[in-house]
Amino acid sequence: MEGHGRAGGIINPEETMPLMTSGVGRSDSVYAKGTATGASVAFTSMAANLPSSPRWTIEGVQYNTLNPGIISIAGTGSVVFEITPASSLTGFSWRANALTGNFPDIRNCTSLSVVDVAVNSLSGPIPDLSGLTALTSLNARTNLLSGNIPSFASNTLLGAFFGYANSFTGVVPGFAVPAACHDFEVNDCPLTQAAVDAILAAFVAAGAAGAYILNIGGIGPATPSAAGLTNKATLVTRGWAVTTN
């Protein structure tokens, strides 16, 4: 389980020296089709589908024991991953692989349930993920992500979002969270007071009560306004563990 002090996809689609352009993939698979990197790349399906046939083809080599597994690909440059078909992928983990570039464009992966791109060097904002209505967990912590945190109003099954240790400064206008979201951690981000207040208000509006976690403290976030502190108190009375500065 993630949390403060506790601790994926397609990266920038630039192919300069293609090493391989074909892939053998199950409907829930991802395969490399671009240039290689010296970093190890960790794959995991996280779907309830055991590999009965090769799911990955990398530089012409087929792999069938990657649930999960790690491949070290020699060379330099970027690895580009292609999902086939995108609409059937249910999850992937791409944690701690020294990846750079933007957050992966997973908007067409409408069956995704679990996404983990934690502990990399991804930059830029998280895109609008409103089409991922099956999403239950999004882990983007410990990156270089910035800009506004997107609204999760349409992600009605989302139970957890880990975005801490990034450079987020705000939230999008109309920011909202579903009642299912019981663990939301964006501590150690330079969030403005308006953003902190908006997050607190969104969780009050969602109406959930229980022993849940909302962390907007640590290094960086502004302190809540008086209205924000009122919303924090409301959440605490509902059973939430709320951390702010």
Asked whether the whole model's pTM tops 0.85, one would answer: no
Quote the distance between the C-alpha of residue 114 and its chain's center: 8
pLDDT on residue 113: 84
**What is the C-alpha separation between 205 and 153, in angstroms, rounded?**
11
pLDDT on residue 242: 98
Over residues 137-183, the pLDDT tens digits come to 999 999 999 999 999 999 999 999 999 999 999 999 999 999 999 99
DSSP state of 115: E
Residue 172: HSE in the Cβ half-sphere, 13 Å Cα cutoff: 15
pLDDT on residue 94: 66
DSSP string, 189-237: S---HHHHHHHHHHHHHH---SS-EEEE-SSSPPPP-HHHHHHHHHHHH
- For residue 101, give both structure tokens: 């570039």
Q: Treating both helix axes as pointing N-terminal to C-terminal, what angle do 226-237 and 193-206 enclose, rounded to 10 degrees?
A: 30
pLDDT < 50 positions in the chain: 4-84
pLDDT on residue 85: 52
pLDDT on residue 142: 97
**What is the C-alpha separation between 42 and 118, in angstroms, rounded?**
12
**What is the C-alpha separation between 46 and 30, in angstroms, rounded?**
12
Cα-Cα end-to-end distance for the chain: 24
pLDDT on residue 224: 98
**What is the C-alpha separation between 40 and 118, in angstroms, rounded?**
15
The pair phi, psi for residue 96, each rounded to 5°, is 55, 55
* Residue where the block lists tokens 């934690």: 118
pLDDT on residue 101: 76
pLDDT on residue 88: 65
Query: For the chain, how many residues are written?
Result: 245
**What is the C-alpha separation between 43 and 25, in angstroms, rounded?**
13
Relative to beta strand 100-102, strand 121-124 is: parallel
